[in-house]
Amino acid sequence: MTRAQTLFGKRQRIGTAALLLSACSFLSIFIGLARDKVISWQFGAGAETDMYFAAFVVPDSINYLLAGGLMAITIIPLLSRRFQEDETDAWRFFSCIFCWMLTAATILTLCGVLAAEHLARLIAPGFTPEKCARLAFFMRIILPGQIFFLCGACVTALLYIRRQFIPSALAPIIYNASIISCGVLLPQILPVEGMTGYCIGVTLGAFLGAFLIPLRTALSRGMPLRPGWRHPLLGKLLLTSLPLLLGITIVMLDEQFLRVFGSLAGEGVVSLLAYARRVAQVPVKLVGQAAAAASYPFLVLLLTNGDNEGFERTLRSALNATLGIIIPCAIWMTVQALPILCAIFQGGRFTPEDTQAATLLAQILLAPTPLWVVYALLARGFYARGDTVTPALTGSVATLLCLPCYYYWAVPAGAWAIAAVSATGISLYVLWLVGLWIKRYGAEVFSGLPAFCARTAACALPGAALSGWISEYCLRALPYHPLVAACIALAVGGCIFALTFLPLAHIFAPSVTHTVLRYFLKKDKPADHGEL
């Protein structure tokens, strides 16, 4: 048995992998919402939380600059082919990648730490000098976490090649649990103030979840990591990754734009936008990102084997399955946004007025949710074909077009307008990307998809309307604490929605339920076929 076979002994089917990642994503999201509940209860939507959320702009930008998650997309095809050709040389290639990533991440992190005060004034132009100083302090604590995120992404890419998904699935759970633990417990034992403990938890969670666990998994299965700086494939990797490194896509920077321009719109706006986006991204993280991460190694394998028909069939099946879940989920969450935000955030320093303000923002940001999922899968389709230029170039153009809209219209208009520009920009960008795919590769991947989406939405709307009316009645009429009333509204509204949507979908759009069930439950195909 070769070292690669030892490292990658267990092969997982795409449906099983997506189910595993979805289950862990659900747990991670639950812990993440618990983290946000603790933060909102302690600090509400004010200056301290504004500075905390803004402190992620520079660290996340370093991650995007080195294409932390996307770097894995370029590594996977090259390493996969190299392991098939020459295993010993493939290990040397991976060691070079890891050493260069460690070096680049360390240098950029040190530069960020040294220039924290100047960067704080740049990314939060609406903050006072005192807030900028506090923001710089937070940034210096959070920045080292990017070293662990980026190096961990290299190891995770290695594990993804043969569908070892468990370490990456556990990473966000450990990350969020570390933030909560440090934020709550450190002030009890150390002289830390405000949200300093949460910042420490970010770096600790990155080390434990994103770096240590994947590294130990790979080492325990025989990964021979050695110092190395030269390899013939490094130039090809850099050339392939360059569009990802330089392409400033609107999808990558969406959250950063909400923070930067939110700082110009008044105190608390950054926090309200962050809380609203957390809710809006729940279905994307739960379904879309898990399906995209699970499907990508299979898409690469299909193209490597020359199976273009299987590639298109797998991508089309993934789009149908994820949209069949995400569309009804987004519609229901839009009408239930008020009780959702009330149950998650309201209480302590997060007032009912904050809940009302965040509700409108969440509803706006939920509108493009299905297109976020389309992007997650379609971008990986481009990457699997070796095309990293198209998503990056179109994303950069969309970013440049949105910047004046943010600054000259959205900031004066307020938080709702910032959310609206975000939703509109994402939607137009993804639709543009779809058009480019059809022009270049044909429409086979999207065959029947518009009708599928229309039937799914039509089946979801009656249940959503009834669910929203019942929830509104519960919130208004029940003589209970707002948290209890919100939970009852969600429980009753969710049951009404499910009892209405599922029969309608079964009768008028059976492919919706059949596709979703087949995506998660199909057991009769081997892993290498790559089908859902």
Across the strands, what pairs with 320?
A: none
Residue of higher predicted confidence among 447 and 420 = 420
Whether pLDDT at 410 is above 90 = yes
Average pLDDT on 80-90 reads 79
The pLDDT mean for the chain works out to 84
pLDDT reported for residue 527? 36
pLDDT reported for residue 14? 52
Whether pLDDT at 57 is above 80 = yes
Distance, CA of 148 to CA of 291 (rounded, Å): 24
CA atoms within 13 A on the CB side of 517: 8
Q: How confident is the model at residue 516 (pLDDT cuts 50, 70, 90)?
A: low
Percentage of the chain exceeding pLDDT 70? 87
Average pLDDT on 491-501 reads 92
The amino acid occupying position 160 is: Y
Q: 304: which 2 tokens?
A: 């490597």
Residue of higher predicted confidence among 79 and 377 = 377
- Is residue 62 within 8 A of residue 105, CB to CB? The reply is yes
Q: 336: which 2 tokens?
A: 């239930």
Give the DSSP letter string of 82-97. Answer: HHHH-HHHHHHHHHHH
- Is residue 109 within 8 A of residue 166, CB to CB? The reply is no
3-state helix, strand, coil in the chain (%, to 5): 85, 0, 15
Distance, CA of 532 to CA of 514 (rounded, Å): 12
Distance, CA of 374 to CA of 396 (rounded, Å): 18
Q: How confident is the model at residue 219 (pLDDT cuts 50, 70, 90)?
A: confident
- Is residue 109 within 8 A of residue 101, CB to CB? The reply is no
Whether pLDDT at 168 is above 80 = no
Host H or E run for residue 467: helix 449-477
The string of pLDDT tens digits covering residues 296-318 is 777 877 887 888 888 888 888 88
Name the one residue in this structure whose structure tokens are 């909102």: 40
Q: Coil, strand, or helix at residue 347? A: strand
pLDDT reported for residue 389? 80
Q: How confident is the model at residue 272 (pLDDT cuts 50, 70, 90)?
A: very high
Max mean pLDDT range (76-80, 188-192, 455-459) = 455-459
Q: How confident is the model at residue 166 (pLDDT cuts 50, 70, 90)?
A: confident
Q: How confident is the model at residue 257 (pLDDT cuts 50, 70, 90)?
A: very high
The string of pLDDT tens digits covering residues 21-39 is 666 667 777 888 888 888 9
Whether pLDDT at 523 is above 60 = no
The string of pLDDT tens digits covering residues 106-142 is 999 999 999 999 999 998 988 999 999 999 999 999 9
Distance, CA of 50 to CA of 5 (rounded, Å): 48
301-311 burial: b if 16+ Cβ within 10 Å, else e:
bbbeeebeebb
Backbone phi and psi for residue 347, each to the nearest 5 degrees, phi listed first: 135, 160
pLDDT reported for residue 233? 79
